[in-house]
């Protein structure tokens, strides 16, 4: 018999189990969001596939989230730091037909609109 907890042991156990379940459920949701929001190129840079990891975390639930945490998360997140950003320059802006200036860190508001073709 446990000493120091007296007759409160069953009550503490009944309180602890739902709290652990809730914490696991919340972490599972956080892991789904993290995997879904991480760009696919980071997974490829880490030698993996985003779709596979989304399926693992969603289908295996907390077990999948823990596998993600311990097996691949750090490698995928570190991949963002291993690939240098593109050099500064003018880059096409999708759908607008204009060029936008990339300063090497972030996009500026400077745009170049080429003359209309005749």
pLDDT in tens, 18-77: 999 999 999 999 999 999 999 988 998 899 999 999 999 999 999 999 999 999 999 999
Structural domain boundaries enclosing 61: 6-82
CA angle 94, 100, 104 (to 5 degrees): 115
Confidence tier at 7 by pLDDT (50, 70, 90):
low
SS3 content of the chain, % helix, strand, coil (to 5): 60, 15, 25
Q: For position 1, what pLDDT does the model report?
A: 47
| 118 inside domain | yes
* Buried-exposed string 69-105: b where 16+ CB fall within 10 A, e elsewhere: eeebbeebeebeeeeeeeeeeeeeeeeeeebbebeee
Highest mean pLDDT among 54-58, 101-105, 107-111: 54-58
Residue 106: DSSP 8-state: S
Token output for 61: 């639930």
- In a shared domain, residues 111 and 76: no
| 1 inside domain | no
Q: For position 107, what pLDDT does the model report?
A: 86
- In a shared domain, residues 17 and 41: yes
- In a shared domain, residues 11 and 41: yes
- In a shared domain, residues 76 and 97: no
- In a shared domain, residues 63 and 103: no
Q: For position 22, what pLDDT does the model report?
A: 96
């Amino acid at each position: 018999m446990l000493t120091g907890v007296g007759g409160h042991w069953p009550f503490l156990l009944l309180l602890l189990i739902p709290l652990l379940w809730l914490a696991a459920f919340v972490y599972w949701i956080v892991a789904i969001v993290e995997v879904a929001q991480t760009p696919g190129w980071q997974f490829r840079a880490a030698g993996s596939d985003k779709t596979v990891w989304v399926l693992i975390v969603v289908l295996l639930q907390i077990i999948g989230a823990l596998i993600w945490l311990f097996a691949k998360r750090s490698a995928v997140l570190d991949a963002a730091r291993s690939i240098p950003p593109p050099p500064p320059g003018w880059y096409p802006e999708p759908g607008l037909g204009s060029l936008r200036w990339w300063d090497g860190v972030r996009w500026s508001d400077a745009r170049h609109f080429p003359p209309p073709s005749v």
